[in-house]
Amino acid sequence: MSEAQESGPAVSGRRPKRDALVAAAFELFTTHGFEQTTVDDIVRLAGVGRSSFFRYFPSKEDVVFPDHEGCLAEMTAFLQEGSSEEDPVIKVCDAARLVMRMYADNPAFAVQRYRLTKSVPGLRHHELSVVWRYERTLADYLRRRFAHRPDGTLRADVIAASVVAAHNNALRAWLRSGGQEHPAAHMDEALEFVRRSWGPEGQTTGPDEEETDDVVVLIAKRKAPMWRVVREIESTLDDR
Amino acid sequence: MSEAQESGPAVSGRRPKRDALVAAAFELFTTHGFEQTTVDDIVRLAGVGRSSFFRYFPSKEDVVFPDHEGCLAEMTAFLQEGSSEEDPVIKVCDAARLVMRMYADNPAFAVQRYRLTKSVPGLRHHELSVVWRYERTLADYLRRRFAHRPDGTLRADVIAASVVAAHNNALRAWLRSGGQEHPAAHMDEALEFVRRSWGPEGQTTGPDEEETDDVVVLIAKRKAPMWRVVREIESTLDDR
């Protein structure tokens, strides 16, 4: 079980029984298949009692995602400690980066799990429920921040979904690279895409920021659609 | 089983065995509970053979969502029959309306299922996988439409997630009203929110559309963030 043990999160040392169960499970899942492996097989290889398994993991599926509970707790704490001065869209983008960081902390394990999850429908479904909990955590935070807006819950739900979709798009690109690329390579671009789309709220320009006297003058037909106006502004600004 | 039969999708008449199974399942789920009901209980009440159940439904969970397969097929066909002239964002918003329409076709059944699904974690997880398939269908369409863009897959994934989140926000509002409100009450606003955020692409103004000579002149500091520029334009246009 050397490879799973070396590359897995099994060697944190703080919870040796739990770590041994994760390492044994991955050893068995990757060699014999997920469906073919029983909880009894896992506890036998890990050398721990059956009751220990269910103390740490509600089901066989959960052992595949051993770090998500901790990451969800970290995300919740990160969002709670924020102030009302912080831009809410930037805040949820930064919260999403915590998930990427968890994956990037252990690339070999993350890639191994990605390949396993792709091939087992039951695990894909389980992963959806994990992703859903992240999305709800972000949406709940945004709903509080947007509570004063008539479209607050709608805006919160849509932005949370956007952030999760962008994060997962970048995460999958990193996983497909075998965890070889820099974790930020796609993530910065993806989250910046979301941030640009929704725009900061409540952010103010710092007083020390240098201002130039340049101005843009735009003349648009009344009927011109907004996207065309925006595109025109962007290309004008890019040219300067 | 009168109520489930009258309100359920059981009376389409085209597939009487399947319809009887759905009606029997809902009768049992709502009176005895989802976990406490077995497939044997369902087939006994429906008066059909056990093998019939599994011919129509892969699992006990699937009988709760009997119309989604058909709706997914309808959505796929709707997206395939589109032309490249159509705005992709409007197209996926219209595709999402097909799901709302399926719910609105049978409000009593939809509300009954909503209450059931909320109270059974296994069904919530199953529903997530259904929602995921809609989201992938929309994203795959958008990826084809945005194939020429460097950020095509990212843009496609994020917009698909936005549309699904907006749709579900409006659908839940309708379900919480007990299916009493007009189905479009929240849906139009929610999808318009997404459409405005992402802007139409490839849409052209019709030649017959009347143009006015009004113009907007905007002067912005070079350092002004784009969201502030857009907000300024929007409020200026709203005032006219």
pLDDT of A164 above 70: yes
Between B112 and B161, whose confidence is greater?
A: B161
- Distance, in Å, from the CA atom of B104 to the CA atom of B115, rounded to the nearest integer, reads 16
How confident is the model at residue B207, as a pLDDT? Answer: 33
How confident is the model at residue A208, as a pLDDT? Answer: 34
Nearest CA distance, A23 vs chain B (angstrom): 26
State chain A's mean pLDDT as an integer. Answer: 83
How confident is the model at residue B13, as a pLDDT? Answer: 54
Per-residue pLDDT reduced to its tens digit, B91-127: 999 999 999 999 999 999 999 999 999 989 889 989 9
Q: Which CATH class is domain B67-198?
A: mainly alpha
**What's the average model confidence in pLDDT over A63-67?**
90
How confident is the model at residue A6, as a pLDDT? Answer: 38
Nearest CA distance, A127 vs chain B (angstrom): 10
Task: Choose among B164, B215, B233: nearest Cβ to A161.
Answer: B164
How confident is the model at residue A52, as a pLDDT? Answer: 87
**What's the average model confidence in pLDDT over B133-142?**
97
Between A49 and A138, whose confidence is greater?
A: A138
**What's the average model confidence in pLDDT over B163-176?**
96
How confident is the model at residue A100, as a pLDDT? Answer: 95
Q: Does B216 contact A211 at a Cβ distance shorter than 8 Å?
A: no
Q: Does A158 contact B198 at a Cβ distance shorter than 8 Å?
A: no
pLDDT of A210 above 90: no
- Encoded tokens for A113: 């799990």
Chain A interface test: which of B151, B155, B204, B218 (most A C-beta within 10 Å): B218
How confident is the model at residue A81, as a pLDDT? Answer: 93
**Domain boundaries along the sequence of chain B:** 2-61, 67-198
How confident is the model at residue A44, as a pLDDT? Answer: 96
**What's the average model confidence in pLDDT over B158-180?**
96
Task: Choose among A223, A229, A234: nearest Cβ to B212.
Answer: A223
pLDDT of B209 above 50: no
Per-residue pLDDT reduced to its tens digit, B51-80: 989 999 988 999 999 889 899 999 999 999
Between A219 and B76, whose confidence is greater?
A: B76
pLDDT of B172 above 80: yes
Q: Does B217 contact A212 at a Cβ distance shorter than 8 Å?
A: no
How confident is the model at residue A217, as a pLDDT? Answer: 56
pLDDT of A7 above 80: no
**pLDDT > 70 fraction of chain B, expressed in percent and rounded:** 78
- Distance, in Å, from the CA atom of B155 to the CA atom of B161, rounded to the nearest integer, reads 10
pLDDT of A8 above 50: no
Chain B interface test: which of A90, A169, A186, A211 (most B C-beta within 10 Å): A169
Between B201 and B109, whose confidence is greater?
A: B109
pLDDT of A209 above 60: no
pLDDT of B203 above 50: no
**What's the average model confidence in pLDDT over A59-67?**
90
Q: Looking at this predicted complex, what is its ipTM? A: 0.77
How confident is the model at residue B168, as a pLDDT? Answer: 97
Instruction: Kindly indicate the confidence band of residue A211, based on its pLDDT and cuts at 50, 70 and 90.
Output: very low
**What's the average model confidence in pLDDT over B160-172?**
97
- Is CATH 1.10.10.60 what the domain over A2-63 is classified as, yes or no? yes
pLDDT of A61 above 80: yes
Q: Which CATH number is B2-61's, of 1.10.10.60, 3.30.2270.10, 3.90.105.10, 3.20.20.70?
A: 1.10.10.60
